[in-house]
Structure 1
Amino acid sequence: MAKIILLDEMTINQIAAGEVVERPVSVVKELVENSLDAGAGRIITDLEEGGLSSVTVADDGCGMNEEDLLLAFERHATSKISVVSDLSRIGTLGFRGEAIPSIAAVSRMSFTTRVAQAINGARAEAAGGSLLTVVPVGCPPGSTVVVKDLFFNTPVRKKTMKSPSMEGSLCGEIITRLALTRPEVSFELRNNGRRVFYSNGSGRLLDALISVYGAEQAREMILVDAAAGGMVLKGFTSKPALSRSSRSHITTIINGRYVQCAAIRGAVEEAYRTILPRGRSPVAVLEMTLAPELIDVNVHPAKLEVRLLEEKEAAELVIRTLKEALRVRTAIPSLKISQTLSGSRKDKRNFMTAPVLKTDDENKQQEFNLVKKEETDLSLDEETISRASGFEPFAAGFDGIAEAEEKIDYAGRQNKMPVLNVLAWLKPTYILAGGEDGLYLIDQHAAHERILYEECLARKIENPVQCLLLPVTLELDYREMAILSERIIWFNEAGFLIEHFGGNTFLLRGVPPHFPEGQAREFLLDMLDYFRERGPGAARAEFFNHLASAIACRNAVKAGERLSQSSMEALLDRLAGTENPFTCPHGRPTMICLSFEDLEKRFKRS
Structure 2
Amino acid sequence: TTVAERSLFFTVPVRKRFQKRVEADVAEIHKILTKAALCFPAVKFTWINGEKQEFSLGRDEPLLTRIATLLGQELSDNLLPIDFEKDRCKIAGFISAPSLHRPNRLGNHLFLNRRAVFSPFISYRFVEAYGTRLPVHRYPLFVCHLALPPEWVDVNVHPQKREVRLREERLVGEFLMEAVERALGKRPEVVMPPRFVLPEAKPLMLAEEAPVYHAQAQADLLLPLVEKKIRGVGFVGGYFLAERRPGELLLVDERAARMRIYFEKMTKSETKMAQQALLFPLSVEFAPNEARFIQAHSDLLNEVGIGIRSFGKNAFVVDSIPQPFENEEIHLLLERLIEDLGGVKSPAKKELAFSLCRLIKRKKLSIEEGEKLVEELLKCEIPHECPRGRPTYICLDEETIKKDYFS
Counterpart of 1:333 in structure 2 is 192
**8 Å Cα contact 1:465-1:512 kept in structure 2:** yes
Contact 2:41-2:63 within 8 A present in 1 as well: yes
Aligned mates of 1:311, 1:293 — CA distance in 2: 13
2:18 counterpart of 1:208: no
C-alpha distance in 1 between matches for 2:95 and 2:4? 37
> Using the alignment, how far apart are the partners of 1:547 and 1:198 within structure 2?
35
1:430 and 2:261 correspond? no
Summarize deviations over 1:101-125 as a string: whole Å, max 9, x none.
Answer: xxxxxxxxxxxxxxxxxxxxxxxxx
> Are 2:378 and 1:576 aligned?
yes
Q: How does 1:181-260 map to 2 (within 5 A)?
A: 181-200=39-58, 203-226=61-84, 230-260=88-118
The alpha carbon displacement at 1:506 in A equals 3.4
2:22 pairs with 1:164? yes
Once residues 505 and 329 of structure 1 are traced to their aligned partners in structure 2, the CA distance between those partners, rounded to angstroms, is 30
1:261-280 to 2 correspondence within 5 Å? 261-268=119-126, 275-278=134-137, 280=138
Q: Tell me the secondary structure at the aligned position of residue 197 of structure 1.
A: strand
Aligned residues of 1:439 and 1:596 also touching (Cα < 8 A): no
Decide whether aligned partners of structure 1 residues 367 and 568 sit closer, same or farther in structure 2, where only a CA change above 3 A counts.
closer
Q: Identity rate of aligned residues, in percent?
A: 27
- Residue identity in the other structure for 1:409: K
Instruction: Supply the distance in 2 between the matched residues of 1:595 and 1:266 (Cα, whole angstroms).
Output: 50
Cα deviation 1:227-279 (Å, max 9, x = unaligned): 5663334443334543334432222221221112233234445667874344x
Find the aligned partners of 1:320 and 1:150 in 2 and give their Cα distance. 49
Deviations 1:304-339 (A, max 9, x none): 333322345435554665577668526522376851
Q: TM-score, normalised by structure 1?
A: 0.55
Alignment RMSD (CA, Å): 4.1
- State how far apart, in whole Å, the 2-side matches of 1:223 and 1:315 are: 19
Contact 2:202 2:277 survives alignment (8 Å): no
**CA 284–465 in structure 1, closer or farther in 2 if over 3 Å, else same:** same
Q: 1:521 aligned to 2:337? A: no
Shift in Å at residue 291 of structure 1? 0.7
Structure 1 residues 248 and 289, CA gap change in structure 2 (3 angstroms): same
Q: Which residue of 1 is the match for residue 229 of structure 2?
A: 409
Which of 260, 278, 284 pairs up with 2:142? 284
* SS of residue in 2 equivalent to 1:572: helix
Q: Secondary structure at the match of 2:100?
A: coil
Cα deviation per residue 1:496-530 (whole Å; 9 max; x = unaligned)? Answer: 5554444x333335445537457333323432333
Quote the residue 2:215 is aligned against: 384
In structure 2, distance between residues paired with 1:591 and 1:492: 31
Which residue number corresponds to residue 223 of structure 2? 395
Q: How does 1:311-326 map onto structure 2 within 5 Å?
A: 311=169, 313-315=171-173, 317-318=175-176
Unaligned runs of 5+ in 1: 1-142, 344-355, 370-382, 399-406, 411-420
Q: 1:320 to 1:459 in 2, by over 3 A?
A: farther
**Separation in structure 1 between the aligned mates of residue 392 and residue 177 of structure 2, nearest angstrom:** 37
**SS of aligned partner of 1:409:** coil
In the alignment, which residue of structure 1 is the partner of 2:167? 309
Counterpart pick for 1:549 among 340, 347, 357: 357
Q: Structure 1: how far apart are the matches of 2:57 and 2:73?
A: 13
Q: 2: distance between equivalents of 1:236 and 1:437?
A: 64
Q: What residue is the counterpart of 1:149 in the other structure?
A: 7
For the pair 1:535 / 2:344, whether they are aligned, the reply is yes
Count of residue pairs the alignment pairs up: 401
The corresponding residue for 2:369 is 567
User: Could you tell me how far apart the structure 1 residues matched to 2:270 and 2:77 are?
Assistant: 36
Shift of 1:579: 2.4
* 2:301 alignment counterpart: 491
Listed one character per residue, the Cα deviations across residues 516-546 of structure 1 (whole Å, up to 9, x for unaligned) are 45733332343233332x331x442443433
Whole-angstrom distance in 2 between the partners of 1:156 and 1:438: 62
Q: Give the AA of the match of 2:37.
A: A
What are the within-5 Å matches in structure 2 for residues 15-30 of structure 1? none
8 Å CA contact 2:288–2:314 kept in 1: the answer is: no
- What amino acid is the match of 2:357? S
Unpaired stretches in structure 2, ≥5 consecutive residues: none
- How far apart are residue 294 of structure 1 and its match? 1.4
